A and B are shown apart, each in its own frame.
Chain A
Amino acid sequence: MQIFLWMISLAFGLFIGAAISLSIFSKKLDDSNNIGDSTSTFDDVSSGMVQFTHRSTYDTTEYKTQFFRDHGYNSYDRQGIKKDNFQQLDDNDIPEDIPEVDIPLFKPLT
């Protein structure tokens, strides 16, 4: 019984130790080697807050379909939101996609 309790304690302790240790050093690794890992935030690109037009709370997921039918993508037509994007941008202005090139096209400086 004593050995069994020690085994359980050791397994539990090592699990906690591994979790704490990995948590500490993964944060340190992130700070140390993952440099400049940030981008613009909502505040940088928006002119205010999100205007929530609908808020609801449900006990089950069965209302999900109804929620998206009323407020999701298919409702945007009814609400007059959908528009033809990019009629102003003529694709002829922009070159075709560049094919992959595996050989250097340019001579190095000598």
Chain B
Amino acid sequence: MATLCKNCGGPLIFEPSNGRMLCKTCGSTFGVNDIEITDRELLEEIEALSAKKVFGVDDVKYFDCNVYTCNSCGGDVIINNTEASTYCMYCGNPTIVFSRVSKQRRPEFILPFSITKEQAIRNIKATVNRGFFVPKEIKNFDPELIRGIYIPYWIIKADHYNAAFIKGEIVTGSGKHKHYKTQYYGRAGEFHIQNMTLDASDALNDNSSMKLEPFDLSALKDFDENYLTGFYSDMADVTGPKVAAAANVRADQMFREEAMSDVRVKNMNVIHSEPYTVVDDDMIYAMMPCWFVTIKYKGEPLTILVNGDSGKVVCALPFNKALFITLVVITALVIGVACAFAARFLLSAFFSTSSYRHSSRSSGNSGRLFIYVAAAAGSALTAAIKRIQKVLKNLNLTKSTATFKYVKRRQG
């Protein structure tokens, strides 16, 4: 059901640039709270059909969905299990499915879109164009699919309890008696969580939605269906125990970092921790805005996310491998040859001095220098490999077919 313009009867949509309801037919604008939705009684006329009725088959490939009649063109609008608002596939009119919103748990708050589709595209272009290794085809992208979707979130308060066993190294002695000793540290404690946002949509990968944070919770508005017009939205399908489990994982990560910063020794890592989170009863159900922009690169869809309030762009992009490898190899060769000459000089000094009995001290110093430099290079190499692996892992999220399906399954 569209919210209709008082002046011309055309459908109204929420306009993020000014936070008002806009009639695209006559250009009138209205405050969100000034609009009375008068079509609720038409719910009586809405017909919900099963997949069997819609497709004429009773097949496991289909799942039950509801069909509503668009009151603008009379076309049937198909809604899946969790969609709350959508567009009519025939006339493109924004449609709100009141039955879906009212029958499910009603969101308490909504963070309205404040970034327009055009701003989202501009943000992506500005960010992508700064990327040194981003291929030209991506820099000159043409969006294939753009969806503004309200994602359901739980905002929780909780108490987190944890105990962590940490391994670390301390330096003992000094001078040539200096050496590293392994120590173990136990830290137990608790902290209070407030306003942790957790994605309540099962279909969207948590690792993607987490990166949209932070959301400006001070800008939350009381939920009003009018904000949904012109956008897609989902209802929460993540149940309570899953919320507790997700909160526990994130709080554990935070506790581990805080525990390690309390210990402050070298080469620390948490061997084991035992987290437990008690989530408060008063969880808040809110809708958060996100633009999903799909582009194609070498035939593969890449889904870029933009926080619909802050404009933060989230994605990992394929990189120009030829440029990356060329630069790495050339730089490695230049530095490598310089280091080889330095090493050759040190080795000559090492062998020449070690042949004299009284110079064992300086040969020992040269040997230690080699070991220290090699150890530092080894840890730098490990860190670099981990960094590249992280980029590749995040690239898989951007390429994720699950995210692409989440966006694409919406009509329009």
Contacts and interface: CB of A to CB of B under 8 A. Distances in A.
Interface in B298-337: 305, 312-319, 324, 327-329, 331-337
Interface string A69-110: 001110110000111011111010111111101111111110
A91 B331 contact: no
A40 B196 contact: yes
Interface string B119-132: 00000000110111
Nearest to B304: A35
B81 interface: yes
Interface in B266-292: 271-272, 274, 276, 278-279, 281, 283
B24 to A, nearest CB: 16
B101 to A, nearest CB: 13
A12 B388 CA distance: 23
Given A10-B340, A97-B202, A97-B237, A106 B189 contact: no
Given A35-B313, A106-B409, A29 B210 contact: no
Given A72-B274, A98-B202, A50 B258 contact: yes
B26 interface: no
Contacts of B356: none
Contacts of B61: 101-103
B355 to A, nearest CB: 12
B319 A50 contact: no
Interface string B70-90: 000000001011100000010
A39 B210 contact: yes
Nearest to B340: A13
Nearest to B86: A106
A95 B197 contact: no
A99 B51 CA distance: 13
- Most B Cβ at <10 Å: residue of A33, A34, A38, A105: A33
A73 B274 CA distance: 6
Nearest to A105: B78
Interface of A: 5-6, 8-10, 12-42, 44-61, 63-64, 67-68, 71-73, 75-76, 81-83, 85-89, 91, 93-99, 101-109
